[in-house]
Structure 1
Amino acid sequence: MTVRYALYAAPAPDDPLWNFGSATIGYDAAAARDLPFPSGTPWDDPDWAELTEDPRRYGFHGTLKAPFELAQGASEADLLEAVMVFADRRPAVEVPRLAVATLGSFVALVPAERSDELLALAGDCVRVFDEFRAPMSQADRARRLKSPLTERQIGHLDNWGYPYVFEDFRYHMTLTGSLSADRCEPVRAALAERYQPIAEPFRLDALLVFRQAARDQRFTILGRFACGG
């Protein structure tokens, strides 16, 4: 059994943003249970479950440090304590208003404006918690290299276990899996209309540790640690 952990940002379980994102992908990672899709477009498309299969595996979130296995000698308790201490020393980050956008072939919520504070937090999470990350397996590296990566991104992959960090980081909260070219804009527009009533800045006031018990299982929330700062 290969356990993986990830450091994510996510709203509280009673936040409208959490409800929107979790309902859209059909899974609540806080309660570790499936959710019925809401009624209406695009959720009532007959293939919506298939289109959201990938984000359902990870739960609704924004990545700060991508999934990793624990390094030899590190324990789950060690990781949780380190995240608790780190979060307590960091101020909350006001993420600019999120907008529904297409990123490549999938749809996600992304900040409408650049946030240097968010970029700094994500970069620090990558660096500080890398001591807990086991070296990437050759199989995982080969899987990542199937995507078109720049030389810099390949360097990030080898050094940090994930290609999209630092200069290549773009905060996003995934709402769909890969879509065909003709589906991207209609799905984006429909989700943007559904999201509009709750569109506002996202206060990132906690760091969350997600856990995946095995590769064929879904991530669940293991711990939520409030920012202090």
Structure 2
Amino acid sequence: MKRYALYYAPPPGPWAETAARWLGRDAVSGEARMQPHLALAGLTASARRYGFHATLKAPFRLAEGSSEEDLLAAVEVFAAGIAPFSVEGLRVAVLDGFLALVPAGDASALDTFAAQVVVRFERFRAPLAAEDRARRRPEQLSVRQRALLDTYGYPWVMEEFRFHMTLTDRLTSEQSARLQPLAEADFTPVLPRPFVLGALSVFAEDAEGLFTEIHRARLG
């Protein structure tokens, strides 16, 4: 069974194209892109698989009795009832050993929106299989994170959520020091200020484990 995920992904334009080139793959078309820096090829494999995005509801298998059509229809209804909103902007940062784009300024509106998405679409998520739960390494999580994992299938939700758009796999400190200036040079000219979140995207996993955007619902 393939998995689905609810993500934020940027609209078509210079930012989206810069991100597709950085990761080496366009998550909308599925096409490969020539990466601008040689060092990126081996340091973006996992990020490339998932496509450029911010996770709102992490990948899940559909609950019994739910269909892809049901999910897409529910996303449209939900998005129509939420007005677009903005935060100050985004910036390049090191987050838990990864390079990522993170919010600049107050991120509370993003946190609230993400929590709404997690709760609203929980009915579409099949329970975690034992092997899927084990992959989250619950023994390394806090008590609260394990509770969130068991409730929502993912430990990094609610107060544990941090909005971010991943740019690399896990890096050493030396790799981060080398790549962060390159990311800042590439992304700073194209990042929106303010950053307006105006859509909710549905991504789906194919037989090769690649995630591609299959639907984009505009907010409001």
**Could you say which TM-score interval applies, normalised by the shorter chain?**
over 0.9
Q: Is the 8 A contact 2:87 2:104 kept in 1?
A: no
Deviation of the 1:84 alpha carbon: 0.2
1:33 is paired with a residue whose SS is coil
Residue correspondence of structure 1 range 45-194 to structure 2 within 5 A: 45=39, 48-145=40-137, 148-194=140-186
Say whether the 8 Å CA contact 2:138–2:146 is kept in structure 1.
Answer: no
Provide the residue aligned with 2:35 in structure 1: 37
How far residue 95 of structure 1 moved from its aligned partner, in angstroms, is 3.0
TM-score of the superposed pair, with normalisation by structure 1: 0.92
Displacement of 1:37 = 0.9
Name the amino acid aligned to 1:218: L
For residue 186 of structure 1, report the CA deviation from its aligned partner: 2.1
Which residue is 2:11 aligned to?
12
RMSD between aligned residues: 1.3
Partners of 2:50 and 2:15 lie apart in 1 by 16
Match of 1:21 in 2: 19
- 2:212 matched to 1:212? no
Once the two structures are superposed, residues 15-53 of structure 1 have per-residue CA deviations (whole angstroms, 9 ceiling, x without a partner) of 222112111101101111111112xxxx122xx212100
Contact 2:90 2:104 in 1 (8 A): yes
Pairing 1:225–2:178 present: no
Contact 1:10 1:61 in 2 (8 A): yes
What is the CA-CA distance between 1:146 and the residue it aligns to? 6.5
Q: How many residues get paired?
A: 219
Q: Is the 8 A contact 1:99 1:112 kept in 2?
A: yes
**Structure 2: gaps (5+ residues):** none
Q: Which residue identity is paired with 1:140?
A: D
8 Å CA contact retained: 1:102, 1:185: no
Letter in structure 1 aligned against 2:93: A
- C-alpha distance in 2 between matches for 1:111 and 1:142: 31
TM-score normalized by the length of structure 2: 0.95
| 1:10 and 1:204 in contact (8 A); partners too | no
> Is the 8 Å Cα contact of residues 210 and 222 (structure 1) preserved in structure 2?
yes
Identify unmatched segments of 5+ residues in structure 1. Answer: none
Deviations 1:166-215 (A, max 9, x none): 1010000000001122211221122112222123332111110001123x
Asked whether 1:201 is paired with 2:194, we answer yes
Q: 1:117 is matched by which residue type in structure 2? A: A
List 4+ stretches of structure 1 deviating above 4 A.
none
User: Match for 1:187: what amino acid?
Assistant: L
Note the C-alpha offset of 1:127. Answer: 0.2
Quick one: which amino acid aligns to residue 158 of structure 1?
D
Could you tell which deviates more after superposition, 81-90 or 114-123? 114-123
